[in-house]
Amino acid sequence: MAGRCHLMPQPHAITWSNIYWQKLQMNEKVTFLLYSAILDNREQTDVRPCLRILAHSDTRKPPKPWCYLWYNASGPPVITQVIRTDYLHYRGKTRGGQRTFILTCRIPIHERLMKPKAVSLVKTPCSEAKTLLEVIGDMQRNEETAYVNGKPPVDGNRIRGWNAAVCGTSLFYFHHDFSARLVEWLEVLRAIGFSQVFLHETNVHPNIEKP
Identify the domain containing residue 185 by its residue range. Answer: 155-209
Average pLDDT of the residues of the chain: 82
* Same-domain check for residues 123 and 164: no
The CATH number of whichever domain residue 113 belongs to comes to: 2.60.40
Q: Are residues 96 and 12 in the same domain?
A: yes
Q: Quick one: 125 and 28 in the same domain? A: yes
pLDDT at 2: 44
Is there a single domain that holds both residue 128 and residue 44? yes
Q: Which phi and psi (to 5°) does residue 156 adopt?
A: -70, -15
User: Is residue 160 located within the same domain as residue 123?
Assistant: no
Digit-coded pLDDT (tens) for 15-53: 999 999 999 999 989 999 999 999 988 777 788 899 999
81-106 confidence digits (pLDDT tens)? 999 999 887 555 556 678 889 999 99
Residue 85 has, within 13 A of its CA and on its CB side, a CA count of 18
Asked whether residue 53 falls in the same domain as residue 92, the answer is yes
Rg (CA), the chain: 20
Q: Side chain identity at 12, as an amino acid letter?
A: H
Last residue of a domain, one of 107, 136, 165: 136
Mean pLDDT on 175-195: 83
Please determine, for residue 1, whether its predicted confidence score (pLDDT) is greater than 70. no
| Least confident residue range of 69-83, 98-112, 116-130, 176-190 | 176-190
Q: What is the pLDDT of residue 3?
A: 47
174 plus 121 within the same structural domain: no
Number of domains in the chain: 2
- Rounded distance between C-alpha atoms, residue 187 and residue 171, angstroms: 18
In the structure, what pLDDT confidence band is assigned to residue 132 with cuts at 50, 70 and 90? very high
Q: Which of 102, 136, 170 is the last residue of a domain?
A: 136
Residue 116 has pLDDT above 90, yes or no: yes
Residue 37 inside a domain? The answer is: yes
- Give the pLDDT score at 142: 53
Looking at the domain assignment, is residue 12 inside a domain? yes
Tell me: pLDDT of 186 over 90: no
